[in-house]
Amino acid sequence: MSRILTESVSRRSFLVSAGVTVGGAFAANLLPSSVFAATKPIVLRYTSSLPDTHPLNKQMKAASEAIKAETNGAVDLQVYANGAMGGDTDMLSQVRAGAIDFIPLPGAILSTLVPAMSIESMPFAFKDYDSVWAALDGKLGEHVRAKTEKVGLIPMEKVWNNGFRQITSSTRPINTPQDLAGFKLRVLVSPLWTSMFSALGASPTGISINETYSALQTKVVDGQENPLVVVESARFYEVQKYCSLTDHIWGGFWIVASGKTFPKLPADVQEIVSRQINAAALVQRQQVIDLNASLEPSLTAHGITFNKVDRSLFRADLQSKGFYTQWKEKYGPEAWSLLEQYAGQLS
């Protein structure tokens, strides 16, 4: 983060003073040290398309409170959930413009700007959480963050957990790749997601998360794929009957800051905000692991029927169709080599 800390303000002067509103209304090139004589706090805005009940948004609220406490109220990180400021692609445009200060997005969506971002979601790559955290807290994560900063987005160091993804359906359980033939499936608006499920024979449709319930309810699609925590928090169990435990992709959320507003904050503000967000990410990671592990009984009580699958069948099917070779060429040898350090040989 040292490259983006653009001012030097002593911790003592920061903690005993207040700031100014930042967000979309920020117009100055830099915050002069005299702003700490102002009476208004520095206001930062975070917005998410996920429900406010999702662990990500709950922990961002906890981070907000920690930031406010550490700064004696001088920094107010406001948390907006439930798609209050639009869907994922809308939020991405707004954070790039500086109208929003922070957003959480899957790498698959951010890959529209930074292709390397979606490599975290390579299908059937990571076998467990240990390999996920080793990769994204390690050299693969460093590679992706460096690429992202070049497009005016500043990713926080720790990736948040969304969990391994499962396929739900209103029509039939998915046991083998053949069961996906012609299956109308909601996926993230992402070339990687679309490419994977097309290769497996499905009919994928990119739909924002805040529009997915309606699409399932009206039969625009027959199924969707998400971690169990999303199935529960978004109440998809009301419009789905089956859940196939495919663990086909691990997905996370990158908290990215606006390159137009975050670098203009005083150095101490940047350090405190980044540190508290990263600390909250570590708490949220384990919360999601525990929650996903506990949700099968409650979702069963809601009427969902679960089935386990042999993941090797799906990985072999993708290999036989040249899927991994295709994406190796798109990511390039450097990124692919870093991925295989943690996931093993894929192509």
Residue 278: which CATH number? 3.40.190.170
Domain count, the chain: 2
- 212 and 200 fall within a common domain: yes
User: Within a domain: residue 139?
Assistant: no
Residues 304 and 172 in one domain: yes
Q: Which residues pair with 29 in a beta bridge?
A: none
277 occurs within a structural domain: yes
Task: Give SS3 for 247.
Answer: coil
Looking at the structure, do residues 215 and 315 belong to the same domain, yes or no? yes
Distance CA(108)–CA(105), nearest Å, equals: 8
Structure confidence by residue, pLDDT tens digits, 256-298: 999 999 999 999 999 999 999 999 999 999 999 998 889 999 9
Same domain flag for 318 and 223: yes
Per-residue pLDDT reduced to its tens digit, 116-165: 999 999 999 999 999 999 999 999 999 999 999 999 999 999 999 989 99
Asked if residue 279 and residue 188 are part of one domain, the reply reads: no
Q: What is the pLDDT of residue 4?
A: 39
Q: Which domain holds residue 261?
A: 2-114+148-161+253-290
Is residue 132 assigned to a domain?
no
Specify whether 275 is located in the same domain as 320. no
Q: Does residue 134 lie within any of the structural domains?
A: no
pLDDT digits (tens, 9 = 90+) for 206-245: 998 889 999 999 999 999 999 998 899 899 999 999 999 9
- Write the pLDDT tens digit of every residue in 5-26: 333 333 333 443 333 444 443 3
336 in the same domain as 238: yes
138 lies in some domain? no
Residues 99 and 240 in one domain: no
pLDDT of residue 39: 63
235 and 257 assigned to the same domain: no
CA–CA dist 131, 341 (Å, integer): 10
In this structure, the answer to whether residues 218 and 338 fall within a common structural domain is yes
Alpha-carbon Rg of the chain, whole angstroms?
A: 21
Q: What is the rounded distance in angstroms from the CA atom of residue 304 to the CA atom of residue 266?
A: 50
What residue type is assigned to position 114 of the chain? V
Per-residue pLDDT, 37: 39
On whether residue 142 sits in a domain, the answer given is no
The residue ranking higher by pLDDT, 327 or 25, is: 327
Do residues 206 and 193 both lie within one domain? yes
Contact in structure between 79 and 64 (CB atoms under 8 Å): yes
Q: Is 68 in the same domain as 199?
A: no
Please check whether residue 199 lies inside any domain of the structure.
Answer: yes
Q: How far is CA 185 from CA 147, 191, 197, 329, in A?
A: 31, 14, 8, 26
The three-point CA angle 219-224-226 to 5° equals 155
Q: Which residues make beta-bridge pairs with 161?
A: 252
